[in-house]
């Protein structure tokens, strides 16, 4: 036995020397994500593949030496459109996730630490949000504030907040019961101090892990919403917009789905693999894998 | 002669907080095939590290590639990861202290066992493995998840897994320290019986000298990362050659006459930076001479044993060393805490007919719990009152009321003669607590020094130059270098000392110790109890010492209060209580001891 059932991992913990590095696969996933973001950002800035709005040639041309991913129904080159789409989607979902992380962390640690009525209120709120299927929630939002980027952002936040708040709250509640928190209370420490110095730092790993998962949920929500025409509006592109447009010509020009599809799958895979690696690194106890 | 295990001049270094800790500092050890060898040493002496090195389980870089650690002739540091795994799978078994932690919580026992049993075998084979470790009802165990088993059962499973492949050597690191006392002996008996049956060599790591001596044919005593004496158990115990072994033999709780002060090895464990040129025991050794601090001892053969002491030969035949030097005077930092409050003798704390009721919740059918039923108790300034009672009797609730964490439903609490203030924060710094779990007593993300200084920071008194923290560390017998470490780099005993330092830094008038030593090894318990007693004598705080262990309570307390089902059934001076307990329940407690 030895290796599998007991690893020296637990001698090295947070903060000290001998940190365990996350494994190779997760690092590869992270590299893939960074590469996607870099291509999107730099590609747009450098005008890689030309102007996404410019009509360059025939409609629905298959991929070839000139237009690597073909052209769309208006005769625009797909390469710059995919680059723009990835950029929009990543930017939108990561901004939304930042908002979610801030909200969920605040709600989660206050509810987890204070317990009582505050906790009840937060749990109810989360349950109510959670009860709506995400796409219904997104449609409602779009109906209220009108389709567009803001609607997409707000929808992602509303869908991911309950997921993340639950987990962070549970983690905070367990940290709150530890003796060092009690000792700080006995010493007369005030709530903000306890939340920041004792609770927050000890749930930050959980927040990071949940953040990566929220990012993948965000990308899916953006896709779904734009697919329904309620998110990012053409002529701007996003992965959702491109997939929606590709879907229309799926039979005549299946290659329209190639670029956005591959990128979407790559993004989702690498985010989830990276999230798992991060979880193994930051929360080794909960995650002992079975293999 | 090729031994089953051979370790020669092994050095293991951890990098910690920017510095290096030399946990093993030139240790030698040999285990013959089928032999039983115990390594004894206080916590922090490097036993576990040595055990991990045998299995190549240390973080990369900790063991130099050229180190001589051989198992069955294979050089462990040179093995490729796959070979190392194979070595562990086929020839080595490990059992650690925490049985539940060593099993996978998400898998049924049967499945986990199947993964380590060579050439699978059917359910019958699995059952046999469990029967071998004397587990009743193996069928049910195979279907269980680890959390459904008691600690003793889980440890038996872990042992079954470690022994499944019939390894050549089993390394057991404090395998019973986390178990109840009654179960301990059974599990130990079983481990030794199986090892004898299968001809497996056994390396038992433990802090408990008498236990090791009773069980193992040979014993190796470790101190400061070195094996200072090794030999046949009976001989070592009867006639220790190294001054540390002698001190250790005397500190064993079983050997002290009842009522007498257990004599822990005095002074502080060594700094493990590998820099000290001499004998690492010199600062605590009653026989130390100049040479001891200047020159590193080499093994000397005395009475057929290798002993790491300059004076071993001289001391032969001399009366067994019984005297130990008092701890060296500590330079300058005689650390009076910030402003030692005047020691009054009026009551520091008074509880007057206190009632606490825990509601069972609106939906529950269970009745509310009356955790405290009209409890009255006073603790004078400078007095230590022990509170004993079985778990669930309300001890911790009483402590929480005393600290103002819980408001009683009825009754009054007075602190320092005044009614308890509405805002307990106005008492900040004047009362503190030392709580039970060493592993959760310190924030894992905070350096030890920051944790100790926190109560001062809360009062707005920053400890900028770190002097108060260093002073407190010194007071509780820790190196000031520890301030920069993180809790996971400390042993349980060290962490509990840190908790005490944190409680003392504001010079409180009153401290609650809630099961403060219950989770520690017996030998460390003795050290911490003595520390608490000494500090209280010196600083004169009033204290409530809560424990389910009557032995610990009578050892430190001036007065004992016995609690049962939310009531205090008897209060008496410790002496009186000891000789003539009045209440029926107190008598029962005494008899159970
Ligand atoms: N992961 C680690 N990082 C830094 N120091 C450590 C680590 N693990 C143990 N130590 C230090 O090494 C020394 C020996 O520890 P250990 O081998 O666990 O001793 P024992 O088994 O006798 O209790 C102690 O001073 C301890 O603080
Ligand atoms: S070498 Fe000196 S200090 Fe060390 S144990 Fe021997 S007599 Fe004591
Ligand atoms: Mg140990």
Q: How far is B124 from chain A (nearest CA, A)?
A: 20
CA distances A49 to A34, A46, B399, Å, are: 20, 9, 72
Q: Is the CB of B287 under 6 A from ligand 2?
A: yes
CA B280 to chain centre: 21
Q: How far is A9 from chain B (nearest CA, A)?
A: 8
Whether residues B482 and B413 share a domain: the answer is: yes
> Does residue A5 lie within any of the structural domains?
no
The Cβ of residue A245 has, within 10 Å, a number of other Cβ atoms equal to 21
Query: Which CATH number do you get for residue A33?
Result: 1.10.3720.10
Nearest to B443 by CA among A72, A125, A204, A127: A204
> Does residue B427 lie within any of the structural domains?
yes
Buried-exposed string B462-487: b where 16+ CB fall within 10 A, e elsewhere: ebeeeebbbbbbbbbbbbbbbbbbbb
Nearest to B523 by CA among B558, B492, B481: B492
Whether residues B92 and B36 share a domain: the answer is: yes
Whether the ω angle into residue A235 lies within 30 degrees of 0, i.e. cis, is yes
Q: Do B94 and A2 touch (CB under 8 A)?
A: yes
Q: Are B100 and B89 in contact (CB under 8 A)?
A: no
Query: Which among A2, A16, A182 is the nearest to B57, CB-wise?
Result: A2
Q: Do B57 and A15 touch (CB under 8 A)?
A: no
B26 Cα: distance to centroid of ligand 2 (angstroms): 16
Q: How many domains does chain A have?
A: 1
Strand, coil or helix: B351: strand
Which of A5, A119, A177, A190 should be substituted to probe chain B, the one whose Cβ sees the most B Cβ atoms within 10 Å? Answer: A5
> Does residue A6 lie within any of the structural domains?
no
Minimum CA distance residue for ligand 2 atom 5? B309
Q: Are B557 and B546 in contact (CB under 8 A)?
A: no
Q: Are A123 and A168 in contact (CB under 8 A)?
A: no
The Cβ of residue A9 has, within 10 Å, a number of other Cβ atoms equal to 16
d(CA A34, CA A12): 28
The Cβ of residue A139 has, within 10 Å, a number of other Cβ atoms equal to 19
Strand, coil or helix: B378: strand
> Does residue A137 lie within any of the structural domains?
yes
- What sign does the dihedral B359-B360-B365-B368 (CA atoms) show? negative
d(CA B73, CA B33): 12
Residue after which a domain boundary falls, among B252, B275, B307: B307
| B378 Cβ contact list (under 8 Å, min separation 6) | B347, B349, B350, B351
State chain A's mean pLDDT as an integer. Answer: 83
Q: Do B444 and A13 touch (CB under 8 A)?
A: yes
Angle of CA points A221, A226, A229, to nearest 5°: 135
Which whole number is the average pLDDT over A82-106? 94
> Does residue B418 lie within any of the structural domains?
yes
| B534 Cβ contact list (under 8 Å, min separation 6) | none
Query: Which among B16, B94, B458 is the nearest to A17, CB-wise?
Result: B16
> Does residue A290 lie within any of the structural domains?
no
Whether residues B300 and B417 share a domain: the answer is: no
Q: Are B545 and B517 in contact (CB under 8 A)?
A: no
Mutate to test the pocket of ligand 1, among B44, B205, B498 (most ligand atoms within 8 A of CB): B44
d(CA B411, CA B408): 7
How many residues appear in chain B? 593
Which residues span the domain enclosing A250? 20-282
Q: Do B16 and A202 touch (CB under 8 A)?
A: no
Q: Are A84 and A98 in contact (CB under 8 A)?
A: no
Q: Are A5 and B112 in contact (CB under 8 A)?
A: yes
Cβ–Cβ contact B73 with A under 8 A: no
Which whole number is the average pLDDT over A175-192? 89
Q: How far is A187 from chain B (nearest CA, A)?
A: 5
Query: Which among B59, B424, B440 is the nearest to A8, CB-wise?
Result: B59
Residue after which a domain boundary falls, among B276, B307, B338: B307
Q: Are B170 and B203 in contact (CB under 8 A)?
A: yes
Query: Which among A1, A2, A15 is the nearest to B444, CB-wise?
Result: A15
d(CA B521, CA B43): 9
Contacts of A202 in chain B (CB under 8 A): 443-445
Whether residues B412 and B482 share a domain: the answer is: yes
> Does residue A14 lie within any of the structural domains?
no
Cβ–Cβ contact A53 with B under 8 A: no
Whether residues B251 and B387 share a domain: the answer is: no
Q: Do B486 and A16 touch (CB under 8 A)?
A: yes
Which of B146, B349, B444 should be substituted to probe chain A, the one whose Cβ sees the most A Cβ atoms within 10 Å? Answer: B444
Per DSSP, B428 falls in state B
Q: Do A15 and B93 touch (CB under 8 A)?
A: no
In sequence order, what DSSP letters do the residues of B186-252 get, joined into one string?
Answer: HHHHHHHHHHHHHT-EEEEEES-HHHHHHH-SEEEEEETTEEEEEEEHHHHHHS--SHHHHHHHHH-
Angle of CA points A177, A181, A183, to nearest 5°: 120
Whether residues B362 and B415 share a domain: the answer is: yes
> Does residue B127 lie within any of the structural domains?
no
Q: How many CA atoms lie less than 13 Å away from A112 in the CB half-sphere? A: 29
Of the listed ligands, the closest to the CA of B487 is 1
d(CA B292, CA A125): 69
Whether residues B297 and B384 share a domain: the answer is: no
> Does residue B477 lie within any of the structural domains?
yes
d(CA B262, CA B555): 10
Q: Do B437 and A179 touch (CB under 8 A)?
A: yes
Q: Are A132 and A219 in contact (CB under 8 A)?
A: no
Whole-number pLDDT of residue B361? 59
Whether residues B501 and B394 share a domain: the answer is: yes
Q: How far is B486 from chain A (nearest CA, A)?
A: 6
Query: Which among A12, A187, A201 is the nearest to B455, CB-wise?
Result: A187
Q: How many domains does chain B have?
A: 2
Whole-number pLDDT of residue B269? 58
* Rounded average pLDDT per 10-residue block, chain B, 593 residues: 84 78 89 94 87 86 83 88 85 82 75 76 83 87 82 87 90 84 83 91 91 92 93 88 85 46 54 73 84 89 89 68 33 33 63 86 66 92 90 89 90 87 82 85 92 92 86 90 90 90 92 88 81 86 91 87 92 82 81 70
Whether residues B530 and B456 share a domain: the answer is: yes
Q: Are B286 and B298 in contact (CB under 8 A)?
A: no
Angle of CA points B218, B271, B508, to nearest 5°: 115
The Cβ of residue B267 has, within 10 Å, a number of other Cβ atoms equal to 17
* Residue ranges around ligand 1 (CB below 6 Å): A 11-12, 18; B 14, 16, 21, 23, 41, 43-49, 272, 489-491
Q: What is the pLDDT of residues A141-171, one digit of tens each?
A: 888 988 889 999 999 999 999 999 999 998 9
> Does residue A15 lie within any of the structural domains?
no
Complex ipTM: 0.75
Give pTM, 2 decimals.
Answer: 0.58
**Backbone Cα Rg of chain B:** 26
Whole-number pLDDT of residue A52? 81
Of the listed ligands, the closest to the CA of B293 is 2
Strand, coil or helix: B179: coil
Whether residues B353 and B469 share a domain: the answer is: yes
> Does residue A58 lie within any of the structural domains?
yes
Which residues span the domain enclosing B372? 347-592
Q: Are B434 and B517 in contact (CB under 8 A)?
A: no
Whether residues B178 and B293 share a domain: the answer is: yes
- What sign does the dihedral B291-B297-B301-B306 (CA atoms) show? positive
Q: How far is B481 from chain A (nearest CA, A)?
A: 15
Beta-bridged to residue B31, according to DSSP, are B5
Atom of ligand 2 nearest to the CA of B312: 6
Query: Which CATH number do you get for residue B471?
Result: 3.40.50.300
Per DSSP, A199 falls in state I
> Does residue A160 lie within any of the structural domains?
yes
Whether residues B302 and B371 share a domain: the answer is: no
Strand, coil or helix: B556: helix
């Amino acid at each position: 036995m030895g290796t599998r059932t007991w690893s020296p991992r637990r001698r090295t913990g947070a903060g000290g020397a001998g940190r365990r590095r996350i494994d190779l696969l997760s690092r590869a996933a992270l590299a893939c994500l960074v590469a996607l973001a870099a291509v999107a950002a730099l590609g747009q800035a450098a005008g890689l593949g030309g102007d996404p709005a410019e009509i360059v040639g025939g409609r629905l041309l298959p991929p070839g030496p000139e237009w690597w991913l073909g052209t769309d129904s208006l005769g625009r080159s797909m390469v710059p459109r995919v680059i723009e789409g990835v950029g929009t989607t990543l930017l939108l979902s990561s901004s939304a996730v930042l908002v979610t992380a801030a909200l969920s962390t605040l709600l989660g640690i206050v509810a987890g630490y204070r317990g009582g009525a505050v906790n009840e209120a937060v749990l109810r709120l989360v349950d109510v949000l959670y009860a709506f299927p995400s796409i219904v929630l997104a449609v409602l939002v779009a109906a209220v504030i009108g389709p567009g980027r803001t609607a997409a952002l707000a929808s992602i936040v509303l869908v991911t907040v309950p997921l993340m708040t639950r987990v962070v709250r549970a983690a905070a509640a367990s940290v709150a019961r530890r003796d060092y928190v009690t000792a700080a209370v006995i010493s007369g420490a005030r709530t903000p101090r306890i939340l920041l110095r004792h609770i927050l730092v000890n749930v930050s790993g959980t927040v990071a892990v949940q953040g990566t998962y929220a990012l993948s949920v965000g990308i899916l929500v953006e896709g779904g919403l734009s697919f329904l025409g309620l998110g990012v509006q053409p002529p701007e592109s996003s992965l959702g917009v491109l997939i929606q447009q590709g879907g229309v010509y799926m039979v005549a020009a299946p290659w329209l789905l190639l670029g956005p599809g591959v990128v979407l799958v790559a993004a989702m895979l690498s985010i989830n693999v990276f999230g798992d690696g991060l979880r193994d690194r930051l929360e080794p106890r909960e995650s002992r894998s079975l293999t | 002669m090729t031994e089953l295990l051979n370790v020669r001049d092994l050095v293991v270094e951890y990098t910690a907080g920017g510095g290096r800790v030399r946990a093993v500092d030139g240790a030698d050890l040999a285990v013959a095939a089928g032999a039983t060898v115990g390594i004894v040493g206080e916590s922090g002496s490097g036993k576990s590290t040595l055990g991990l090195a045998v299995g190549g389980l240390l973080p990369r870089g900790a063991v130099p590639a050229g180190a001589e650690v051989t198992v069955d002739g294979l050089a462990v540091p040179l093995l490729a990861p796959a070979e190392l795994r194979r070595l562990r799978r086929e020839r080595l078994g490990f059992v650690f202290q925490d049985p539940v932690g060593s099993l996978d919580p998400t898998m049924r026992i049967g499945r986990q066992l199947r993964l380590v049993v060579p050439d699978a075998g059917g359910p019958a084979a699995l059952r046999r493995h469990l029967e071998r470790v004397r587990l009743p009802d193996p069928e049910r165990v195979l279907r269980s998840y680890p959390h459904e088993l008691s600690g003793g059962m889980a440890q038996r499973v872990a042992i079954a897994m470690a022994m499944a492949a019939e390894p050549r050597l089993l390394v057991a690191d404090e395998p019973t320290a986390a178990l109840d006392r009654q179960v301990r002996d059974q599990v130990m008996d079983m481990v030794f019986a199986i090892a004898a049956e299968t001809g497996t060599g056994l390396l038992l790591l433990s802090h408990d000298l008498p236990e090791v001596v009773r069980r193992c044919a040979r014993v190796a005593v470790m101190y400061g990362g070195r094996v200072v004496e090794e030999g046949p158990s009976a001989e070592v115990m009867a006639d220790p050659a190294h001054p540390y072994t002698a001190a250790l033999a005397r500190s064993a709780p079983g050997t002290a006459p009842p009522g007498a002060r257990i004599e822990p090895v005095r002074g502080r464990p060594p700094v493990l930076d590998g820099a000290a040129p001499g004998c690492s025991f010199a600062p605590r050794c009653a026989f130390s001479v100049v040479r001891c601090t200047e020159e590193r001892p080499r093994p000397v053969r005395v009475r057929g044993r290798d002993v790491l002491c300059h004076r071993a030969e001289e001391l032969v035949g001399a009366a067994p060393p019984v005297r130990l030097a008092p701890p060296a005077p500590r330079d300058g930092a005689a650390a009076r805490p910030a402003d030692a409050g005047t020691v009054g003798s009026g009551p520091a704390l008074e509880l007057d007919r206190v009632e606490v009721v825990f509601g069972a919740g609106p939906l529950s059918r269970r009745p509310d719990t009356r955790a405290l039923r009209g409890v009255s108790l006073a603790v004078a300034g400078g007095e230590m009152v022990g509170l004993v009672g079985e778990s669930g009797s309300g001890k911790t609730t009483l402590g929480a009321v005393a600290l103002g964490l819980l408001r009683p439903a009825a009754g009054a609490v007075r602190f320092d003669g005044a009614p308890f203030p509405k805002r307990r924060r106005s008492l900040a710094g004047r009362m503190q607590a030392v709580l039970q779990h060493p592993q959760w007593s310190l924030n894992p993300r905070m350096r030890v020094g920051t944790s100790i200084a926190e109560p001062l920071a809360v009062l707005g008194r920053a400890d900028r130059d770190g002097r108060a923290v260093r002073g407190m560390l010194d007071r509780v017998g820790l190196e000031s270098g520890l301030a920069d470490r993180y809790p996971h780099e400390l042993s349980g005993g060290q962490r509990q000392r840190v908790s005490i330092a944190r409680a003392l830094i504001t010079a409180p008038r009153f401290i609650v110790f809630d099961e403060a030593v219950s989770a520690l090894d017996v030998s460390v318990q003795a050290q911490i109890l003595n520390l608490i007693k000494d500090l209280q004598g010196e600083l004169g705080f009033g204290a409530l010492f809560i424990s389910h262990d009557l032995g610990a309570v009578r050892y430190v307390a001036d007065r004992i209060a016995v609690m049962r089902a939310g009531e205090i059934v008897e209060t008496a001076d410790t002496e009186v209580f000891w000789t003539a307990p009045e209440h029926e329940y107190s008598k029962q407690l005494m008899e159970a001891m």
